[in-house]
Structure 1
Amino acid sequence: QRSYTTAEKRKVVSYAKAHGNRATSREFDGIAESNIRLWRRQKECLQALPRMKMTERGKSAAYPELEAKLVEWIAERRQQGGGVSIAEVRLKALTIAKASHGWGNRFMNSHGLSVRCWTTIAQKLPMDSDTKVLQFQKFIIKLHKQHCYDLSLIDNPYNRMLEVKGAKTISIATTGHEKSRFTVMLACTADGMKLLPYIVLKHKTMPNNVIFPNTVHVSVHPKGWIDEPLMLDWLQMVWVKRPGGLMRKRSLMVLDAFWCHHMKSVKKRLQQDKTDLAIIPGGMTKILQPLDVTVNKPMKDALRRKWNTWLWEGEHTFTASGCMKTPTLQDLTQWIADVWVELDPAIIRKGFLKCSIFNAMDGSEDDSLW
C-alpha cells in the first residue's frame, strides 16, 4: 500500500474533475476509484491541510465553537503573562460541555498546544560555579573529618513557596484567593530520615476549628513567609525534637543563602545545639541543594496528583454565587503530610551524594557509605 500527500491528492482531484474517476485511475497508476471518490468529497478539507501531510488523523471537534473560544482565551491569558494548565482548560470547558481527560489531549493536539515549564525565570549558574562546587565540597569534607558526623546528624532544610495548582483560575473567576500562599519547610538527614514538615500559613492568627494532622507543624505569618522568629521556632519545634536531638551530638546543617539563615540569633541557637552550619553559595542551589536536585520534583508531582484527584473526584462546596471553593486547610496540610511520608528515603540519600554533602573522604560518590 502507498500513502499519498495532500498535494498529490489535490492533483488527483483536479484531474478527476476534468476527466472522470475511471480515467484518473488509469492515469495515476491504478489508484482505486473508491479513493478518488473519497478525496473528491474531502476537497475542502484537503485545501486546508499542509501540502506534505499524509492524512488527518483523530476525531473531529465535537464542539468547534467551544474550542475556538478556548483557544482565544488561552492566547489572551498567555499575552498577559499568565500560566494555563490543562486542568484549567478542562475546568473552563466544563461550563459549556463535558471535558474528559482524553478530550484535553485531543484539544491540545488539534490546536498545537503543549504543557511547558517556565523558562524566563530559570536560575543561571554563576561563571565560577565549578570553583564554588569544589570549595563547598572541600569545606564539607573538612568538617566531616573534624567531627565524624553520623549520617542522621547531617541535615538539609529547604524553604519552598507553594501555590495550589489551579487555584489562580478558580479565584480570579470566583473566590478572589489568587494570592493565597503558604510556605513549606522540608528537612531531611543524609541517611534518608524525614523531619516534620513545617508549614507557614498566610494568616495573622492561627485558624480556629481546624484540626491539623499530627505529622506536621503549623505556624502562621501575615505574608506566609519564613522569617527570623519562625526560623528560631523551627529549630525549637522540629530540629531539636528530631530523633536523638536532645542528646545534642555534634551535627552539621546545610542551608541555602536565604537571608534569615545568616542571622546572629540563628547561628547562636545552632551553636547551643552543637550544630555546625554550612551555607550553600548563592546561585548554586540547583546543583548543591539535595532537596532541589532530587526531592522537589517528586514532591510537587505527588501534590499535583492529590490536587487533581480532589478537583475531579472530591466533594466540593460552593459560594452563594455558585463558584467552587478552594480546598480546606486541613486537606492541604494532610496532602503535604501524606506525600512527605510516602517519599522514598533512597531519593534523599541519592540527593546528598549528588550534591557532595556526604561523600567519601576523597570526594567520590562511594555508595558503600550507606
Structure 2
Amino acid sequence: MKGGAAAVLWQLWLVVVLMWFCCRRRGKKEKIECQGGVYVLESEKAWSTQNVIRKWVDLMLPLVLRGSQRGLLIWDSASTHRAKDMKNFLAERRVDQVMIPAGMTAYLQTLDIAINKPFKDYLRLEINDYIENRMSRNKNNNFVKPNLQEVVSWVRNAWGKVTDSCVAKALKAGYLDKTSPFEASYIAKHDRLEPMILKELESNEILAGIQGLDLEENDDIPEDDDLIVFE
C-alpha cells in the first residue's frame, strides 16, 4: 500500500473505532486511551456527542497536521456538527468543515459507502462467535458481560479484515481519489446532480486550459498595421 493510502487507512481505523466503541460502563475515563491497539473512550451512552468529537479532534489532528497546514472534516449535517460551539471549537484549531447535505450520505460519505458495511459484518461475526463459544455464566446462571479486552479484540479483528482494496474502493466511490474518473463515483449515479457536476467539471477544465495558454509566444497574431479592412 502506498504511503498516502496507508495514512488514510489509519485515519479511517481511528474514526471507525471511536464511532463503534464507546464503552457503556458509567464513564470512568475522561480521555481517549489505547487498549491493545484500539483507541477507547468511555461514555455513559454510545453516542457521538460534542464531547466525544472534541476529544477525537484533539487526539487525531496533531498526528496528521504539520506546521501551518489546515485541517478539513467532511461529515454529515448532524446537529452536533452544525452547533455554533462546535464550529468555534474547530475554527480555533484551524479546521474547516464540509457538510454533506441531507439525503446524500449514500453518494458522498466515503465511510458509509464502502467501509462501514463490511466492518459491521465482520464485527457481528466476532460477537456471534463469542456468544456461541466463549460466553460464560455466573453462579445465578446469568450471562456475564464481556470485559474490555474482549470487546477490543472484536474491533481489532474486524478492522483487520477490511482490506486495502476496500479502502481504495471507498475513495473512488466517494470521489476523493481524483486519479479515478468521475464516472466511477457514486455521485455520478445521481440522476439530477450528475449532469450538473459534469458541466462544472468541464467548465473548470476549459478555464484551466485558457489560463495555461502562453499568448506571448503566439507569433501568428497580426499587428494592427497588418490588418486589412474591407468595406
Q: How many residue pairs are counted as aligned between the two chains? A: 175
Normalization by structure 1: what TM-score? 0.41
Deviation at 1:267, TM superposition (A): 2.4
CA distance in 1, matches of 2:81, 2:106: 18
1:94-105 maps to which residues of 2 (within 5 A)?
A: none
Q: Tell me, yes or no, if the aligned pair for 2:77 and 2:100 is still in contact at 8 Å.
A: yes
Q: Radius of gyration: which is bigger? A: 1
1:241-256 maps to which residues of 2 (within 5 A)?
A: 241-242=62-63, 244-256=64-76
Which of 144, 149, 169 in structure 2 is aligned with 1:330? Answer: 149
Which of 284, 292, 296 in structure 1 is aligned with 2:104? Answer: 284
CA distance in 1, matches of 2:166, 2:68: 27
Normalization by structure 2: what TM-score? 0.63
Which of 61, 86, 90 in structure 2 is aligned with 1:240? Answer: 61
Q: Tell me, yes or no, if the aligned pair for 2:76 and 2:101 is still in contact at 8 Å.
A: yes
Q: Tell me, yes or no, if the aligned pair for 2:22 and 2:45 is still in contact at 8 Å.
A: no
1:1-370 maps to which residues of 2 (within 5 A)?
A: 191-194=8-11, 195-196=13-14, 197-198=17-18, 199-206=21-28, 213-237=35-59, 239-242=60-63, 244-314=64-134, 316-359=135-178, 363-365=182-184
Unaligned runs of at least 5 residues, structure 2: 186-231
Deviation at 1:288, TM superposition (A): 1.7
Identity of aligned residues (%): 21
Deviation at 1:246, TM superposition (A): 4.6
Deviation at 1:250, TM superposition (A): 3.1
Q: Tell me, yes or no, if the aligned pair for 2:35 and 2:152 is still in contact at 8 Å.
A: yes
CA distance in 2, matches of 1:152, 1:249: 16
Structure 1 residues 327 and 236: CA distance shift in structure 2, 3 A: same
CA distance in 2, matches of 1:354, 1:307: 29
CA distance in 2, matches of 1:201, 1:264: 27
Unaligned runs of at least 5 residues, structure 1: 1-150, 154-187
Deviation at 1:233, TM superposition (A): 0.9
> Residue deviations 1:337-360, cap 9 Å, x none?
232244213212211221223435
CA distance in 2, matches of 1:267, 1:215: 30
Q: In the alignment, residue 37 of structure 2 is paired with which amino acid?
A: T
Q: Tell me, yes or no, if the aligned pair for 1:216 and 1:333 is still in contact at 8 Å.
A: yes
CA distance in 1, matches of 2:40, 2:172: 30
Q: In the alignment, residue 245 of structure 1 is paired with which amino acid?
A: L
Q: Tell me, yes or no, if the aligned pair for 1:227 and 1:260 is still in contact at 8 Å.
A: yes
CA distance in 1, matches of 2:73, 2:161: 24
Deviation at 1:240, TM superposition (A): 1.6
Q: Tell me, yes or no, if the aligned pair for 2:23 and 2:42 is still in contact at 8 Å.
A: yes
CA distance in 1, matches of 2:89, 2:102: 23
Q: Tell me, yes or no, if the aligned pair for 1:212 and 1:334 is still in contact at 8 Å.
A: no
- After superposition, the CA RMSD in angstroms is 3.1
CA distance in 1, matches of 2:74, 2:94: 14
